[in-house]
Structure 1
């Protein structure tokens, strides 16, 4: 399992300029020669979970293009999953995960998990005012599944669980 803080990226996605449809070219299948190519997960059609994306604050930092679950609408079941076909074309999954600063419940805890081709490779429990820089290798992976399980309140409290600026990366 990937859960070693020493192996995580120190990139602060909130400092990246926001993407706009008019200004940004379509994603290319080949990375630029002098740096990694990134694609926000919102640009890939999900296979399940009906994900939502927007800019949200986590632990005092705003993250653009963030995947989130609206727990005000999800009291049962206590877990939400989002699955994607990433076609064995990426090298890394990166995000900053946590609970939105706008959560009404200061005691809320959520477990975030990542599955690659059906195998759990990462999990971390987080509460309000906590975040974690996710950096998971996804080389040669076909299916990516992101899961969030409500540890306290079974998901019936107001607030979002956030995969901040979640994106896939191809190394040069």
Structure 2
């Protein structure tokens, strides 16, 4: 019988087999890294969210013309105690008074007696005002027993006339739109010829 000889495992052959194994291992690693093959793992998709731009609102400053228009529409008040009369027969006392126990800080007073039974003062309105308001009456330090008649005229036309005794008062409000002149008058009607009486116009004021 012929003897079958096994091939010898030489060092050259062992080197060749090792080299083949390294090549195969490298090929498998490359395939896994590249995601090759039908059974490769699919990487999840990334979601990108866009943030909408923020709108910036800038408040504009009011113009000078709009501010002027607003100021012109605002109500204004002018006290007669802060004005000089155009004319007056016996002078005007601009000061605080008490009428029927009530104090009025910004008032005008006309004094009268038998020797000068009528006292008046006229003011320029300049067609700038809409209304005139006042509380009229005898000043509380006037003598007992007298009466005074209070009259208001606008551009020469008598608008109101009130006879008021000591210890009483009367509120008056008049429309003076487009008026040029305002006249206040006090007439004496008391029994004592030698005594002064004081006709006061409490907080007499113009408004627009």
TM bucket (normalised to shorter chain) is 0.7 to 0.9
Structure 1 residue 154 displacement after superposition = 6.9
2:178 equivalent to 1:140: yes
Mapping of residues 26-45 of structure 1, within 5 Å: 30=72, 32=74, 36-45=75-84
Matched residue, 1:92: 131
Verify the 8 A CA contact 1:68 1:160 in the aligned structure 2. yes
Deviations 1:99-138 (A, max 9, x none): 011112x211000001111111110000001000110111
Task: State the secondary structure of the residue aligned to 2:81.
Answer: helix
Q: Which residue of 2 aligns with 1:7?
A: none
Distance 1:156 1:112 in 2: 20
Report how far residue 65 of structure 1 moved.
Answer: 1.4
Give the TM-score, by structure 1 length.
0.73
**Counterpart contact for 2:119–2:185, Cα < 8 Å:** yes
1:16-36 residue CA offsets vs partner (Å, 9 max, x unmatched): xxxxxxxxxxxxx8352xxx3
CA RMSD of aligned residues (A): 1.8
Q: Does structure 2 retain, via aligned residues, the 8 Å contact 1:31–1:37?
A: no
Greater helix content: 2
Cα separation, 2, equivalents of 1:68 and 1:43: 13
Q: Which runs of 5+ in 2 are unaligned?
A: 1-70
User: Which structure has the greater CA radius of gyration?
Assistant: 2
Go from structure 1 to structure 2 and tell me whether the alpha carbon gap of 1:155 and 1:90 turns closer, same or farther (over 3 Å shift): farther
Structure 1, unpaired ranges of 5+: 1-28
- 1:105-116 to 2 correspondences below 5 Å: 106-116=144-154
Q: Which residue of 2 is the match for residue 83 of structure 1?
A: 122
- Equivalences, count: 136
Q: Which residue of 2 aligns with 1:14?
A: none
TM-score between the two structures when normalised by the length of structure 2:
0.61
Q: 1:161 and 1:87, CA in 2 relative to 1: closer, same or farther beyond 3 A?
A: same
User: Hey, what does 1:117 align to over in structure 2?
Assistant: 155
Which has the larger strand fraction? Answer: 1
Contact 1:101 1:129 in 2 (8 A): yes
From 62, 68, 77, the equivalent of 2:103 is: 62
Aligned-pair distance for 1:46?
Answer: 0.8
- Contact 2:120–2:183, Cα closer than 8 Å, also in 1: yes
CA contact (8 A) 2:111 2:119 kept: no
Shifted more, 74-83 versus 55-64: the winner is 74-83
